[in-house]
Amino acid sequence: MPMDPALRPASTSRPPAHKVVVLALDGVYPFELGIPHRVLGSAEGRYDVVTASVDGQAVRTDADLTVTPGHGPEVLAEAETVVIPPYTVPAASTGVPDPRALAALSRVRPGTRLVSICTGAFLLAAAGLLDGRRATTHWALTDRFRELFPRVELDPGVLFVDHGDVLTAAGAASGIDVCLHLVRLDHGTEVAGQVARSCVVPPYRDGGQAQYIERPVPSVSDIGTGPTRDWALQRLELPTSLAEMAAHAAMSTRTFTRRFQEETGLSPGRWLTQQRLRRARHLLESSDLPVERVAHEVGFATATSLRRHLAAEAGVAPSAYRRTFRAAGPGPTTTKHRPATASTPRR
C-alpha cells in the first residue's frame, strides 16, 4: 500500500545550485579567471560555475596561452551571479577591450548579482552600473579609472566594496576574498570556513582592509607582531589593552602600534574589534547562545557594545543577523540584495 504523502518525511535534498557565469574578455588574467571556479566550486555543489566569452570562441589571455570557454554570451541570461575577472586595459582605450563585451553584459537579467575583480570594474563602469556608487579596483589604476569614469566614487584603498547587487574587488588575491565573502553571505561562516580550508587560504579579510601596505621585507630576526596577534586571539574573550599587547611583543606602545599598522593595515584596536565581530558572527550563525552570552564570549563588555559594533560593520542588529543566516539553512540559491549602507565594508 503506498504511503500517505502527508506521512512522508520532509525532503532534505539541497536546492538547485546557484548559477555563476564567469565572463572572460580578451586579455583576461589567467590567475583571476580561475578564482571563482576554485573558490565557489569548493562549496560542495552549492554553485554551478561556468565560463563564457563574448562570442563562444577562444579568448587570448595576458600570458602566452589562450583559453576556450565552454559557453557563449547566451548563458549570461541564465546567471544568478556574473563575475568579470580582470583583463588588460590599454592606456589609450575606453576601458572595454571589445565592444561585444557591453552587448554580452546587456544579456544579464535585472536583479542578477554582478562581481568584478581588478580591471573588471572598468567594464561595469563603462556600462554605467557604477555611476554614483562607491567602488574599487587595483590601486595602481586609480588615475586611469578616475579619468575614464568620473561619476564613480572610487576607493582604491580597500579590498572590496559590496552593494549587495554589485560588488567590486581590487587585484589578484582580493578576488579570493570577495568570492569567500559571497560564500559567507550565501551560506554562512561555517561553509565559508570549509571552503577556505579546502583552498588553503585565510577564511576572512575585511573588505575595508588596506589594499596596499607599504612594508619592507622583514629580516630573519624580525618576528613582528604575529605572535602577539595569535596570543590575543587565544584570549579574545578577555579585555586586552594596547599596553598589554605591546608588553607581550616586548615593544614600546608607539613602536608596536607602528609595526602593527605596517603588518596588518589596521590599528591594534580596530583589528581586535574585527576579530571579535568575526567570532560573534560565527556564534550567532552556529549557536543558540543569547546575544548577551555571545558578547561575553567574544570580549565585548556588554551586549549593547556588540550591537553597536555589529550595526556599524554590517548594518543590522545581532538578532536580525542571526535570523538572516539561520533562515538560509544549508544554503539558499539566491542572495538577498542588501542596501549599500548595510553591506558595504567599512574601514
For residue 221, what pLDDT is reported? 47
Residue 84: CA count within 13 A, CB half-sphere: 32
Its pTM stands at: 0.71
- Report CA Rg, the chain: 22
Q: What is the pLDDT of residue 205?
A: 65
- The answer on pLDDT for 152 being more than 70 is yes
Residue 330 has pLDDT above 90, yes or no: no
Per-residue pLDDT, 201: 85
For 72, phi then psi, to 5°, come to: -100, -175
- Evaluate if residue 329 carries a pLDDT over 70: no
Q: Torsion angle, CA of 218/219/221/222, rounded to 10 degrees?
A: -20
**What's the residue count for the chain?**
347
pLDDT band at 266 (very low <50, low <70, confident <90, very high): confident
Helix pair angle (30-40, 174-187), 10° resolution: 20
* Percent of the chain surpassing pLDDT 70: 84
Residues 330, 209: Cα–Cα separation, whole Å: 29
Residues annotated as part of the active site? 118
pLDDT in tens, 293-318: 999 999 999 999 999 998 887 778 89
pLDDT at position 212 is 55
Q: Is the pLDDT of residue 21 over 80?
A: yes
Structure-model confidence comparison of residues 322 and 169, the more confident one: 169
Cα distance between residue 223 and residue 220, in whole Å: 7
Does residue 99 have a pLDDT over 50?
yes
Report the pLDDT averaged over residues 134-155.
Answer: 94
The backbone torsions φ and ψ at residue 210, rounded to the nearest 5 degrees and listed phi first, read -60, 135
Quick: pLDDT tens for 55-92: 999 999 999 999 999 999 999 999 999 999 999 998 77
Residue 183: HSE in the Cβ half-sphere, 13 Å Cα cutoff: 29
In angstroms, the CA 158 to CA 135 distance is 9
